[in-house]
Structure 1
């Protein structure tokens, strides 16, 4: 059963008790990467952990399902073209979470894009420990997703 999380604002990305940040380079320009991020139904085609994604609330939110059964209902907090895409998790069936905000920052890098992804979370001590230990796996999943998104964008 889903449980509600604490509603946080964008500044949570800097103030969360646990922040995991990862960076990767994409050959596609920021405008194209942004379009890929905001194409919510397209996420399962490039982010292998996502099995289902659909916009909600007239495009102001998202419903995301991960492989393994975790579900999220989210509110899009920022959609700044070619710069930033961020969303807050409002409810989930994942145990131990109190608040979660994810931010994708896009910066031009030559003809491509430098992407910085931040996973800002508050949760139980046990969850924070698991996430710290799982940091390498989260980083790998992020880098794989960026490579797959980039290939998809380059293919048109």
Structure 2
């Protein structure tokens, strides 16, 4: 059964009592990566294998306020809303942030995720992915041991994301 979570802003990413931060380097430029992240949510399972299905819940154009529905392998479901949609400009970073409005994951009170894309020295993108959660102690006890798996999953997803952007690993 889905539970409604406490609404949070992008500032929650810095304030959350529990954070998982993972990084990856992509060869694709931030604009190409941002487009893959935001243009068509239904493509996420093609590059992020833990995502079973994803999609926007309303018609384009998408941006702040857009809704998304996501199901992960294992059955976790999320209804999300976009709270920051900052496309890259003038060589600066890009940012895509969404919060979870509803989930069937027990013990969670608030949840947000951020994809921060920074131009890398020499070309490409430095990706920092943050999961910020306020949850019951039982959930927090699972988050710490999950860090290595989340980092590994992100690195694998980043390689597939690069390929979708037309960049192949050597």
- TM category (shorter chain) comes to over 0.9
Q: Deviations over 1:100-119 (max 9, x none)?
A: 00000010012200000111
How many Å separate the matches in 1 of 2:147 and 2:167?
30
Asked if 1:5 corresponds to 2:5, the answer is: yes
How many Å separate the matches in 2 of 1:148 and 1:118?
19
How many Å separate the matches in 1 of 2:26 and 2:71?
25
Asked if 1:85 corresponds to 2:96, the answer is: yes
Which one has a larger percent strand, Structure 1 or Structure 2?
1
The CA deviation at 1:120 is 0.5
- Residue 115 of structure 1 aligns with which residue? 127
Q: Deviations over 1:41-99 (max 9, x none)?
A: 11011000001111013340100011111110000111111310010000001111110
How many Å separate the matches in 2 of 1:56 and 1:113?
29
Superposition pairs of residues 44-123 of structure 1, within 5 angstroms: 44-58=45-59, 59=62, 60-82=66-88, 83-109=94-120, 110-123=122-135
TM-score (norm 1): 0.96
How many Å separate the matches in 1 of 2:150 and 2:114?
14
How many Å separate the matches in 2 of 1:57 and 1:99?
23
How many Å separate the matches in 2 of 1:122 and 1:130?
13
- Residue 139 of structure 2 aligns with which residue? 127
Aligned-CA RMSD value: 1.3
TM-score (norm 2): 0.88
Which one has a larger percent helix, Structure 1 or Structure 2?
1
